[in-house]
Amino acid sequence: MNSAYHRRVAVPTVLSTAISPELADEAITLFTPLGSTEQHGPHLPLDTDTRIASAVATAAARELAAAAVGGRTALAPAIAYGASGEHQSFAGTISIGTEALRHLLVEYARSAAQWCRRIVFVNGHGGNIEATVSAVRLLRAEGRDIAWWPCAVEGGDAHAGHVETSLLLHISPDVVRREEALAGNSAPLRELMAPMRAGGVAAVSAIGVLGDPTTASSQDGARMFATMTRRCADAVHRWTPDADGRLV
């Protein structure tokens, strides 16, 4: 086999453009973004969660590759459909549900684990957590080295508000329709959970926004993104999954 396939490089291998020999006989950590296709108010695209998860996974994998720690990193195409039933009242939402997502993640990881050392699911959508935890617990019980990490901002608003709008103003400013942004329901998420379980997001916000996107800025987005990327890279480098398989 050509030795060029085995030289250390300072960038992650991208699965969508890689060839098989580049991925053989290597201690690879595979970053797989998990997102969703769901409404994000009148100002953000349906793939907001997928964009954020993909950007964080890419940046974290690059950071580890550049540091040359923990073996090689590789980037998988995002899984862009998740459990988004709470948004089903809004046009454009496509949800595959918790059970289907769980089965998808299990079979995905069983296959990928045949050639990579580790897999980390970088999750950008809160509705995916139940399926992700269940899948990762099973996979780890089977002896596979799988974990997950959430793209989260402590104390941030819940959906299509300041946090996600700021992140997209940093990551993909061209897709944000700032002139359409409207403040939504800014009540704490714990207060909204009961009515949301009964009637989805539409029961608490007619525009599908939980938070205030009108205060968003690219500067805040850059700061939050840098923090998420650093924390993700550090967590993957330490690789200490908790009982739910979440990297801590």
- Asked whether the whole model's pTM tops 0.85, one would answer yes
Cα angle vertex 16, ends 105, 63, to 5°? 85
Q: Is residue 175 part of a domain?
A: yes
Q: Is residue 245 part of a domain?
A: no
Q: Which CATH number do you get for residue 203?
A: 3.40.50.10310
Q: Is residue 8 part of a domain?
A: no
Instruction: Give the pLDDT score at 7.
Output: 42
Q: Is residue 9 part of a domain?
A: no
Q: What is the DSSP string of 133-180?
A: HHHHHHHHHTT--EEEEE---TT--SBSSHHHHHHHHHH-GGG--GGG
Instruction: Give the pLDDT score at 26.
Output: 73
Instruction: Give the pLDDT score at 71.
Output: 80
Euclidean distance between CA atoms 132 and 147, whole angstroms: 9
Q: Is residue 57 part of a domain?
A: yes
Q: What is the CA radius of gyration of the chain?
A: 18
Count of domains for the chain? 1
Q: Where are the alpha helices (DSSP H) in the chain?
A: 48-67, 97-112, 129-141, 162-171, 189-199, 218-238
Cα angle vertex 167, ends 224, 200, to 5°? 110
Find the domain containing 130 and state its range: 25-236
Q: Is residue 17 part of a domain?
A: no
Q: Which amino acid is at 111?
A: S
Instruction: Give the pLDDT score at 70.
Output: 66
Instruction: Give the pLDDT score at 1.
Output: 35
Summarised one tens digit per residue, pLDDT across range 133-152 is: 999 999 999 999 999 999 99
Q: Is residue 49 part of a domain?
A: yes
Instruction: Give the pLDDT score at 3.
Output: 38
Sign of torsion, CA 106 107 113 118? negative
Q: Is residue 100 part of a domain?
A: yes
Averaged over successive runs of 10 residues, the pLDDT of the chain (248 residues) comes to 44 94 88 98 98 98 85 95 97 98 98 96 97 98 98 94 98 98 94 92 97 98 98 97 97
Euclidean distance between CA atoms 110 and 40, whole angstroms: 32
